[in-house]
Structure 1
Amino acid sequence: MSGNVIQFYSTKGEYGPFSNFSAHRLFLKGKTWRTSEHYFQAQKFAGTEHEEELRMVESPMVVARMGRSRKRPLRKDWDAVKDDIMREAVMTKFTQNKELKALLLSTCDAALVEHTANDSCWADGGDGTGKNMLGIILMEVREKLKEEQESGSA
């Protein structure tokens, strides 16, 4: 990895599409989702009426708030599956949208960091102590896309 670091958080700016709140639809599980955040949050309640309720919410900010609320019964295996669900959402988002795929590949080998004090799991916690799982997953997806491109299967 080079010393190059790309930080993102807001949906604005050149790397705004790396945010799960970016207005890029994806098609998964036979349905269209407004954003990857919609898909991710709804999967906390997969197979229940709450999944569809969250899918239909207009705003990614509102769907995030709803998904984080513990007023709905969280699926029992959530901690075990959440990273893979995020991988699925991110891979789908960046393979179904050619412009996003090109943007992600254009980052070459830069470290991708979701930079905010608001989250220490998916982001860097604002001071680098967070796990940055969204950034890590974006880099994993980038590597897979590069491999597909090099093998000619993309």
Structure 2
Amino acid sequence: MPESPSPAVINFYSTQDEYGCFSNFSAHPIFLKGKRWRTTEHYFQAQKFAGEPDEEEVRMAKSPMIAARMGRDRKRPFRRDWEAVKERVMLDALRGKFTQHEDLRAILCGTGNAKLVEHTVNDDYWGDGGDGSGKNRLGQLLMQLRKELLAETNAAAHS
């Protein structure tokens, strides 16, 4: 049987959806910076306070939602370079997640050339804003990572 073609667009948001593993809230721990992080959300939010006590507090948050709330708390002082480094931090988190979990790597690579979209009205930077007007940076970084992982796989197959 031929494989069915992957959809042209894959929307994700809830961890309960078919592609819920693409959410930063998905329960897939990562090991980065010498520490275990419960989710990529924990890692991403904590990096707003890298080197400060707040970083460890966020790392230890009981859920990704709590980590997100802590990371968005403007009473906590963000690192000065956050806007300049946030996309690299997100890519590092995603790279950790999709290289440390073979099953997730297979799911991501299995999306073929589909456009990956974090479909939510709650975010117009990382997501699509719910109506496609957002930047969808999370989806774009996932597609960038997919391209890197597929290139690695192809290179290994031809060596």
Same fold, judged at TM 0.5 (above): yes
User: How far apart, in 2, do the equivalents of 1:56 and 1:34 lie?
Assistant: 8
Where does residue 132 of structure 1 map in the other structure? 136
In structure 1, runs of 5+ residues without a counterpart are none
Superposition pairs of residues 1-154 of structure 1, within 5 angstroms:
4-152=8-156
TM-score (norm 1): 0.97
Letter in 2 for 1:49: P
In structure 2, runs of 5+ residues without a counterpart are 1-5
Q: Secondary structure at the match of 2:105?
A: helix
User: How far apart, in 1, do the equivalents of 2:128 and 2:73 lie?
Assistant: 22
User: How far apart, in 2, do the equivalents of 1:88 and 1:57 lie?
Assistant: 20
User: How far apart, in 2, do the equivalents of 1:48 and 1:65 lie?
Assistant: 17
Which protein shows a greater Rg?
A: 2
Report Cα offsets for 1:22-77 as digits up to 9, x if no partner.
00000000000000000000000000000000000011011101101101000000
TM-score (norm 2): 0.94
| Number of residue pairs aligned between Structure 1 and Structure 2 | 152
- Once the two structures are TM-superposed, the CA of residue 3 in structure 1 deviates from its matched residue by 7.2
Distance 1:37 1:150, change over 3 A: same
Runs of 4+ in 1 over 3 A off after TM superposition: none
User: How far apart, in 2, do the equivalents of 1:51 and 1:33 lie?
Assistant: 11
Identity of aligned residues (%): 61
